[in-house]
Chains A and B, each alone.
Chain A
Amino acid sequence: MTIEQQSGSMGSAFFALLRRDLLLAFRRRTEMLFPIVFLLVVVSLFPLGIGPGPQLLARIAPGVIWIAALLATVISLDGLFRSDYEDGTLEQFVLSGHPLTLISLAKIVAHWLVAGLPLVLLSPLLAIWMNLPIESLGVMVLTLLLGTPILSLIGSIGVGLTISLKRGGQLLSLLVFPLYVPILIIATAAVMAASDGLPYTAFLGLLVAGLITSVTLAPFAAAAALKISLS
């Protein structure tokens, strides 16, 4: 009997892990709220710091919301593999015989559902706060829907690399922010184009391309990073 048969198929391992992670997150509901509250607080600081002029706020809204989303993602990312690493579960995953790539992908999907999706759902409120024109509100939500999974995927590589460090969080932001530059540029450009009444589908297409590329490549890199960190 092979390991594969002993511990079920790859698909069932993926969903079992996904279910477990979601359950764990649900049991610690307060922690789920941290990135959301963080996003709210950061965005609300901007009108206080810059002034409540509606036109200025509308102009900087896409950038502010997206940068706040980047920060919120990086803050929540640190927990992606942390507890599994500390209690040794991650090593058991490696020994389980299932591809580490698949395990990483399951954890990333769970992370996005817990930390990324709430940001997307919250973004209309933020857009209204920031006085974003109502026509571009949908585009804002759409860019976040397409973009935040990319943030989780690319971020997982950085988390895998820094997991063995005691204070990896600060280093993590240094590692992943430069890699987030293209997403930030494309996503904010899409929203600005929509605000100006220009066509924006090309930008969304680029985001989709980025999502597909990172879904196919990032889990492999994250798995390689985890293997190095566990060695």
Chain B
Amino acid sequence: MNTNVTTMNKEKARKNWLVMFIHKMGSPPWFYNFAGKLIPWLWAIFIGLTVWGLYLGLFKAPADYQQGESFRIMYLHVPAAWMSMMIYTSMAIMGFIALVWRIRIMEILAMCSAPVGAAFTIIALASGSLWGRPTWGTYWVWDARLTSELVLLFLYLGVIGLYNSIDEPRKAARAACLLAMVGAVNLPIIHYSVKWWNTLHQGSSISVTGGSNIDPSMLWPLLIMAVAVKFYYGANLLTRARVKLLEQDKRKGWVKNLVKEHKS
């Protein structure tokens, strides 16, 4: 009986701690400080992992027997392509949370994700077409993956465009969050229809991955880079969110206090 009560209390306390944490994250000053403490760590981990991953990928990994040195673009291209899709999904999930529970921090986080995601999409497209030059002999092929990335870029641009054209920030964020969710529902359909369109029209003989087994010495740097860019996303996102928060709350007390502290 006694132990039961204590475990219940403990559970309650633990739940309270988690609930408290989520509540606190919804408060702009608390979020601002917490993100400020987290950001240097995220940047440090990102830089450390990137240096390690790129060293292994660019210097240690052997050249590919078919593609030679050009396959090393993969260490930039593949993580960027993965990130472009992951960020869109996370933006849509954050948008959903923002719309359902009306959490302002979530609106800001979702909207700050869009430019980062769009940047990764552009990196994936540019590196993909640079990679296409030596392997396919041309900069652009209407390959299923490149085409879906292009459509994904348009979806990102739509979200960014809508967000920036509505004057009132919260209304803009809510509208763009809804658009992100609609896009996320459509994204798998777009992806598969494009994939299938590609096989329909030109019997795609070109395959990026080739389906062959990748050697661990080539795979490890890729995985390290894939983890590294996630820390980059976190660091960049929180940095942007802090700036956006300051901008939106510039007339609020906590920002004024912050400025005062900074000056003194």
Contacts and interface: CB of A to CB of B under 8 A. Distances in A.
Interface residues of B, number: 27
B190 A221 contact: no
Contacts of B151: 178, 181
A117 interface: no
A185 B158 contact: no
B154 A171 contact: no
Interface residues of A, number: 24
A189 B171 contact: no
Nearest to A178: B154
Contacts of B158: 171, 174-175, 178
A229 B175 contact: yes
B179 interface: yes
B190 A178 contact: yes
B171 A228 contact: yes
A164 interface: yes
A196 B93 CA distance: 43
Interface string A8-25: 000000000000000000
B174 interface: yes
Interface in B186-235: 186, 189-190, 193-194, 196-197, 200
Q: Which among B183, B190, B193 has the highest number of chain A CB atoms within 10 Å?
A: B193
- Interface of chain A: mostly helix, strand, loop or mixed: helix
Given A164-B166, A185-B197, A228-B175, A178 B182 contact: no
Interface in A116-169: 157-158, 161-162, 164-165
Interface string A36-77: 000000000000000000000000000000000000000000
Contacts, number: 69
Contacts of A157: 178-179, 182
Given A171-B161, A171-B162, A174-B157, A181 B193 contact: yes
Interface string B145-180: 000000100110110011001100001001100110
A182 B189 contact: yes
Contact of B166 (A158, A165, A175, A182): A165
Nearest to A224: B178
A206 B174 CA distance: 32
B65 to A, nearest CB: 36
A179 B183 CA distance: 7
A94 interface: no
A126 B178 CA distance: 37
Given A185-B197, A189-B200, A228 B162 contact: no
B86 interface: no
A225 B178 contact: yes
A5 interface: no
Contacts of A162: 162, 165
A182 B186 contact: yes
A113 interface: no
Given A179-B183, A221-B178, A165 B165 contact: yes
A181 B190 contact: yes
Contact of A174 (B154, B186, B194, B200): B154
A217 interface: yes
Contacts of B181: 221
A225 B178 CA distance: 7
Please name the 5 residue pairs, one residue from A and one from B, whose CB atoms are nearest each other, closest first: A182-B193, A178-B154, A175-B158, A185-B197, A185-B193
Given A164-B171, A171-B165, 16 more contacts: A161-B162, A161-B178, A164-B166, A171-B158, A171-B161, A175-B161, A175-B162, A178-B154, A178-B155, A179-B182, A181-B193, A182-B186, A182-B189, A221-B178, A221-B181, A231-B174
5 contacts: A175-B161, A175-B179, A179-B183, A185-B194, A189-B200
